[in-house]
Amino acid sequence: MLMKKNKSSELTQEIQKITQDYEKLAKEQKDRILMLREENRTLNEKLEACQKERDAISSTLVRAEQASQQLIDQAKQRSEQIIGDAYRKEAASRKRIEEHRALLRELAVQCENILTGIENELKRPSSIFSLEVVNKKQA
């Protein structure tokens, strides 16, 4: 019976050792699970922060693209306005130039007529010219 008791005692010790090992392993597993949950929570927080940052960057890029397109559209509109103004000014300048050319042609004709008149007067006999000058002075 002593042998049976020894075996029973050894068996009890073995069971206690297995139980202790199991409890130790279970505690380690529980601690590992808690640590992994905490790590998971931390990673989720970081992921959420990264997603918010990505969304903010994306939103900023969209606004920047819209602003740049608006600037491009405004620049195109302004350049078209400047070009239109330049064409109108060019047309007005061409019209003024043509008007001045016409005036110069008229003046050239008038000068030619005056010159012809002077030449005709110079071709007349001088006595007639001098009498007319004297008569004009007396009047």
Which tens digits make up the pLDDT trace of 44-90? 999 999 999 999 999 999 999 999 999 999 999 999 999 999 999 99
- List the domain range (segments joined by +) for residue 111: 2-138
pLDDT for res 127: 58
Residues sharing a CB contact under 8 Å with residue 129, sequence separation 6 or more, in sequence order: 121, 122
Is 121:129 a contact under the CB 8 Å cutoff?
yes
- Of the candidate ranges 6-15, 26-35, 99-108, 112-121, the one whose mean pLDDT is the lowest: 6-15
pLDDT for res 43: 97
pTM, whole model, 2 decimals? 0.48
How many domains is the chain built from?
Answer: 1
Quick count: other Cβ atoms within 10 Å of Cβ 62? 10
Token pair, residue 56, equals 């903010």
Cα–Cα distance measured from residue 76 to residue 71, given in angstroms and rounded to the nearest whole number: 9
φ and ψ at residue 20, rounded to 5 degrees: -65, -45
